[in-house]
Structure 1
Amino acid sequence: MIKKKNISLYATIILFIIGTANSSMYGQDTKETDAPQEGATSVKQSQEVMNPTTLAWQLQLEEYSIFDTEGQDGFAQNFRFRGIIPVEKGFLIKVPQLLRVITFVNTATNGRTGLGASTFNQFFILSKKKWGQFGAGWNLNIPTATAAELGSHQWQIGPAATVTFTNLGNWQMYWIWENFFSISGNSKYGSSAFAVVQPNIFYTWSNGIYAGIEPEWQIDYKTGKVAIPMDFRVGYIWSGKLKYNAYIEPEIMAYRSDGYTRNLSNFGVRLGFRWYIPM
């Protein structure tokens, strides 16, 4: 089981992030400029920040503290770093695109801490309409985990797609569909083929506060088994020199097929902080 001093370390990091956010929010320059006053936001601006197809440089940090793991005792956690690089026009495919690099520092219930698997994905924004956007791309899972219990040890690749509905007033809805098929280590670990489906529904108020769901449902193509977690996120988006997004998100496992082992979390809480730099 993870030691109390490690939990205190995670809490200190989270409090530092929240403190930085508060000082950015309340310690802003009040001089008059041509731009909107720092701290001001709107439903449109907030929805642009949350939209996964918005072209913006982003740094996203998220701590997922897992307090109940199926069949295991002890505290676990996943700390995610995600960087997003926007490309206004690609070299080969002449459409806007987003490059995402994701890596984890994980702690298993036995107390072991180290790197988890990493992911690279590329989304092409293929269509923009009044109702929203459509994008498609691909994922690559890179086996950077330092221990078997911290992440996959197989190279995996697969297609991905996203559909975003933005012309819904204060509401916003988007779906993300990602696929992963193992291309290495099948003789040792067994082949894997699964999808992650992410339904996202949010309501945004004019003061930058928003609430909604953003679960990641998993479907195993080989066995038909599923994991259906449910979460509820409450967050706040505001503008300073950059745009910021902070949120808290409890999550429970609503349903898991017997024998499904890819997601064993029964209850956890996410705390996230994101920086956005528009192109």
Structure 2
Amino acid sequence: MLKIWFMEVKVRKVSAFFVLLFMALSALGQEAEEKTSMELSQQVINPTTLAWQLQLEEFGIFKTNNAEGFAQNFRLRGIIPLEEGKLLPFPQLIRVIAFLNTAPGGPTGLGDIAINQFFILAKKDWGQFGAGWNLQIPTATSHELGSPQWQLGPAFTVTFTDLGNWQMYWIWQNFFSISHNSEYGNRNVTALQPNIFYTWSNGIYAGMEPLWQLDYETGKIAIPLNLRLGYVWAGKLKYNAYIEPEFMAYRSEGFPYNQNDFGIRLGFRWYLPLKPR
């Protein structure tokens, strides 16, 4: 009973924090120098938009499979846009991602660092297509907070933007371990992320972007589902804030990676679009 009461108190505190933060962000949005439009909102939400970005995201995990205690993943992601050049005639996005994690009932420390590079290979009226690579660097301060293996793999993205108020993006990433396989075994995982959003003209949007995983070695999968409610506005920069509850809809027995059963994400992002030449 004491554990249940303690968990309810934490949920109430986190919920109150989310409400207060969104009230503050809404007030800031009302003072924006540039009126938010549906077009602006969709540009900001689009993960392949060429813009300098700084993204902060806190994922509070209240229930973990076969583990007790509160856990969290704090993500810091910077995105560097590059226009097409003479050497590489494609626009591209470089994403650098770092984590500060807490294991359930365990330590807090650095997680792994990931680097993604996407090349926008084709732009069409319906959207665009891109491809690139992922690198995961084993910087975690504990094996409970990340993988001890270097991982490398290809990545692909398809975006559909000619859908009115709707937008759809598919991101497919692969991670293949390239170190310590004899010690820890092969880690060969693919992750498919469907991004589906509906945007209103006042800057509010709703949608989902779960990360579905498949272990190539065993064929086991994890299928979480989430619902994001967000708000986009513009001032000197472009801003995006959101709340996103997530639960595990299906996980194969013995799936070794994503053990999160329920959590809530809180995110805030800054955007500085590239100026046209």
TM-score by length of 2: 0.90
Indicate whether 1:278 and 2:273 are aligned: yes
List runs of 5+ in structure 2 lacking aligned partners: none
Match of 2:205 in 1: 210
- SS class of match (1:261): coil
Aligned 1:151-230 pairs, distance under 5 A:
151-230=146-225
Say if 1:120 and 1:139, in contact at 8 Å, map to a contact too. yes
**Aligned-residue offset at 1:222:** 1.0
- SS class of match (1:148): coil
4+ residue runs of structure 1 moved beyond 4 angstroms? 10-20
Letter in 2 for 1:160: A
CA RMSD of aligned residues (A): 2.2
Aligned 1:72-91 pairs, distance under 5 A:
72-90=67-85
**Aligned-residue offset at 1:52:** 1.3
List runs of 5+ in structure 1 lacking aligned partners: 29-37
Aligned residues: 266
Match of 1:260 in 2: 255
**Aligned-residue offset at 1:110:** 1.9
Distance 2:226 2:93 in 1: 26
**Aligned-residue offset at 1:93:** 1.8
1:22-61, Cα deviation, whole Å (9 max, x unpaired):
5642445xxxxxxxxx251111111111111110000000
1:184-235, Cα deviation, whole Å (9 max, x unpaired):
0111111111101001110000001000110000001111000000000000
Distance 1:88 1:72 in 2: 46
Give the direction of change, closer, same or farther, for the CA distance of 1:257–1:137 in structure 2 (3 Å limit). same
Match of 2:58 in 1: 63
**Aligned-residue offset at 1:111:** 3.4
Distance 1:87 1:16 in 2: 36
Distance 1:132 1:222 in 2: 34
Distance 2:230 2:188 in 1: 33
Indicate whether 1:150 and 2:160 are aligned: no
Give the direction of change, closer, same or farther, for the CA distance of 1:244–1:157 in structure 2 (3 Å limit). same
**Aligned-residue offset at 1:153:** 1.0
Give the direction of change, closer, same or farther, for the CA distance of 1:90–1:152 in structure 2 (3 Å limit). farther
**Aligned-residue offset at 1:183:** 0.2
Give the direction of change, closer, same or farther, for the CA distance of 1:15–1:114 in structure 2 (3 Å limit). farther
Distance 1:147 1:211 in 2: 36
Indicate whether 1:45 and 2:49 are aligned: no
Say if 1:158 and 1:181, in contact at 8 Å, map to a contact too. yes
Say if 1:105 and 1:116, in contact at 8 Å, map to a contact too. yes
Say if 1:60 and 1:272, in contact at 8 Å, map to a contact too. yes
**Please, which of 85, 105, 114 is the counterpart of residue 110 of structure 1?**
105
Give the direction of change, closer, same or farther, for the CA distance of 1:266–1:124 in structure 2 (3 Å limit). same
1:148-192, Cα deviation, whole Å (9 max, x unpaired):
000111100000000000000000001000000000011111111
Match of 1:31 in 2: none
Q: Quick one: percent identity of the two aligned structures? A: 64
Say if 2:18 and 2:243, in contact at 8 Å, map to a contact too. no
